[in-house]
Amino acid sequence: MSGRLSGRASVALISTLFVVGIALDQVTKAIALAKLTPGHPVDVVPQVLQLDLVRNPGAAFSTGTGFTVGFSILAACVLGAVIVWVVPKVRSRWWAIIVGLGLAGVGGNFIDRVFRAPGPFRGHVIDFFSLRHFAVFNVADILLTATAMLIIIDVVFLRIGLDGAPTDPKASEDTR
């Protein structure tokens, strides 16, 4: 998984994951909007998983509902910064996957904030997966969670740099 890629291959992998992730997020949200009614959850796995349409102006667990514009601006800054400063440095297949999934997650919810009611940069994120005694979330949130988990795996176990080289000094000594 830590294979090195050319710059072009890295950008292609990141871009593919970004486009596929956003498409999956937006298509599932469109289906949820067409098929679900707020306040009328549908059991998928009784007592575990429901489909429950929620328009969320805030962040995770509906926190920060009055900060929608701020979340929009923050997402735009994150997308821009990662595209400008991180993507050009990625040569690791592992990190290309992480970056592609992360960009898709941020991008999917950013699209909602920009294009959905009640208006640009104030739009509510469409959430519809509901786990019992947990949050209501969407595909973009799943991608962001997967990104966080992969980063933790890298930091704790793999220690692969963006360029594909080991970040652990002991690992680089072992390869000499």
Say what the alpha-carbon torsion angle 140, 141, 142, 147 is, to the nearest 10 degrees: 90
Write down the catalytic residue from 25, 52, 112, 141: 141
143 CB burial (10 A radius; 0-12, 13-18, 19+): buried
Question: For 111, what's the count of Cα atoms within 13 Å in the CB-facing half-sphere?
Answer: 20
- CA angle at 101 for the pair 95 and 103, rounded to the nearest 5°: 100
Which strands, in side-by-side order, build the sheet including 49-56? 42-45, 49-56, 125-131, 136-137
In a 3-state reduction of DSSP, which class is residue 157?
Answer: helix
Given the residues 25, 52, 112, 127, the one annotated as active site:
127
Q: In whole angstroms, how far apart are CA 2 and each of 17, 110, 149, 163?
A: 17, 30, 16, 10
Is 52 a known active-site residue? no
Q: Assess whether 127 carries a catalytic annotation.
A: yes
Enumerate the active-site residues.
127, 141
